[in-house]
Amino acid sequence: MTEQTNTARSLLAVAGDVCSRVCSAVEGIDDALARIQRDNPSLNAFIAVDGDRARHAAAVLDQRIADGEDVGPLAGVPLAVKDTEDTIGYATTFGSRLWANAPVATRDSVLVGRLKAAGCVVVGKTNTPELAAKGVTDNPLYGVTRNPHDHERTAGGSSGGSAAAVAAGMVPLATASDGGGSIRIPASACGLPGFKPSLGRVPDGGPDPVDWLDLTTRGVLTRTVDELLAVLDVIVGPEPTDLRSLPVPPVPWTVAIEETPRPARIGWSPTLGYADVDPDIVVACEAAIERLAGLGIDVVEIPVVFDADPVMTWATMIACYVKRSVGDRDLDLMDPTVRGFVEMAAHVTIDALVAAEDTCHSLNLRLVEVFDRCDLLLTPTLAFDPERLGEEDVRFVRATYPFNMTRSPAGTMPVGTSPAGLPIGLQIVGPQHGDLTVLQLMREIERIS
């Protein structure tokens, strides 16, 4: 068992010091680059780093501050970008040999553009499974990303490189995305807070259509909920090129959360009605729920949320999306698991795809019934410890994808440690557009843990 030390400073402290000129953005970037050089060889979180580009961007930022400009609330914060997201000067390979020779991007994605406009400095790109289509981060192009808490375990996926980079203290902020749990799974595996906003809160947009249509949402990974809130205030809001994007919140979330009431009643579903869960994980989650009950929150147990595991319905949708991305490229170059989605898509009829969309509606109707009884739904984020490298046991990721299908806001918070020394996450799911209620309870859990 090995564990990476994490002594990196808060992104809020970094931004405050850079803005007040206590330290320079260049110094902060140099520190991040040194941490990456020291820790990345053992974790393989980053697949590309451009120190010269990052130092130049930081120097420009320092000069703007010296000239009296307002450079944004995240001034000088080192940023890692998941390798499914465009950022100027880096190729976007999607963790795939099919895109190994992709040209460097000449534009930033909407998410990266907003973060850079707020003062962030990109230091590199992080690893992801091919086309972000697995719950573990490995691929034939860049290899496996290891968990900072145990190098023989996965960091989760698909934002595993981003989660490992933040959890290990290489950077305080990384972009992420979640189409089936890809923020919550690695956040839980690496001991971080993780939050999948309501669909459309953090827009996609740009010249290309959204890859996974009504399932995937963009987001970020940070080390604390307060950091997460500060970044969300920068990245939420409408984008005219994204058909799904939602209006800007009337009040910044860092302000509104102070007026958001604590939930009066929470539902607790250990298995959602279909998943086997490690008893040690249930015990840790129930201990956190008992602490919440001690604050006066009522708890109601909900043994069955869904009558059956919707994984095959989710997989039907994903298969079609992956097939669209791959087109007529050479399948022999692909990860066999991801190639399986492409092969599956050949047998999906139009009727089957429409039926899958209809199932999303049915699942949401079940959640409407749940939220008639409680304000939030809590479940274990992962059913088992993150799998060991080389294993193919996907049972540990059975609790996240339903809430992509329902478009629900959903977060995860670390609430304990398993007997194997791995972090345990508690998943918090909210009703439609109930993002602030989820974030409020995440912050409450962080305070009492």
For 293-351, write each residue's pLDDT tens digit.
999 999 999 999 999 999 999 999 999 999 999 999 999 999 999 999 999 999 999 99
pLDDT of residue 1: 36
| % of the chain with per-residue pLDDT over 70 | 98
Q: Check 82, 116, 125, 196 and give the catalytic one.
A: 82
What is the domain extent for residue 193? 11-258
- 177 plus 126 within the same structural domain: yes
Question: Is residue 328 situated within a structural domain?
Answer: no
Whether residue 182 lies in the annotated active site: yes
How many whole angstroms separate alpha carbon 376 and alpha carbon 197? Answer: 14
Question: Is residue 297 situated within a structural domain?
Answer: yes
The token duo for 85 is 């997201």
pTM above threshold 0.85: yes
Does residue 44 surpass a pLDDT of 80? yes
Cα Rg of the chain (Å, integer):
20
Confidence of residue 393 (pLDDT cuts 50, 70, 90): confident
Does residue 272 surpass a pLDDT of 90? yes
Closest of 190, 194, 225, 224 to residue 423, by C-alpha: 190
Question: Is residue 80 situated within a structural domain?
Answer: yes
- 356 plus 384 within the same structural domain: yes
pLDDT of residue 2: 38
* End-to-end CA, the chain: 24
- 300 plus 232 within the same structural domain: no
Does residue 5 surpass a pLDDT of 50? no
- 161 plus 296 within the same structural domain: no
pLDDT of residue 3: 41
Question: Is residue 330 situated within a structural domain?
Answer: no
Mean pLDDT of 128-138: 97
Confidence of residue 4 (pLDDT cuts 50, 70, 90): very low
pLDDT tens string 58-92: 999 999 999 999 999 999 999 999 999 999 999 99
Mean pLDDT of 356-360: 98
Contact 174, 80 (CB under 8 A): yes
Question: Is residue 169 situated within a structural domain?
Answer: yes
Q: Check 24, 109, 182, 188 and give the catalytic one.
A: 182
pLDDT of residue 34: 98
- 234 plus 285 within the same structural domain: no
- 249 plus 275 within the same structural domain: no
Q: Check 24, 96, 109, 158 and give the catalytic one.
A: 158
184 beta partners:
none
Based on the structure, what is the number of domains in the chain? 2
Question: Is residue 316 situated within a structural domain?
Answer: no
- 83 plus 232 within the same structural domain: yes
Question: Is residue 338 situated within a structural domain?
Answer: no
pLDDT of residue 394: 82
Lowest-confidence pick of 51-60, 133-142, 206-215, 427-436: 206-215
Question: Is residue 339 situated within a structural domain?
Answer: no
CA distances from 216 to 24, 153, 193, 406 (A): 36, 25, 18, 11
Domain termination site, one of 219, 238, 258: 258
416 beta partners:
424
Domain termination site, one of 258, 278, 294: 258
pLDDT tens string 193-234: 999 999 999 999 999 999 999 999 999 999 999 999 999 999
Whether residue 159 lies in the annotated active site: no
- 143 plus 210 within the same structural domain: yes
Mean pLDDT of 388-393: 88
- 142 plus 242 within the same structural domain: yes
- 253 plus 280 within the same structural domain: no
How many whole angstroms separate alpha carbon 410 and alpha carbon 182? Answer: 12
- 270 plus 222 within the same structural domain: no
Whether residue 245 lies in the annotated active site: no
**CATH number for the domain harbouring residue 20:** 3.90.1300.10
pLDDT of residue 395: 85
| % of the chain with per-residue pLDDT over 90 | 96
* Mean confidence (pLDDT) of the chain: 96
Beta-sheet pairing, 46-49 with 423-429: unpaired
CA distances from 448 to 90, 231, 283 (A): 41, 23, 17
265 beta partners:
298
- 114 plus 191 within the same structural domain: yes
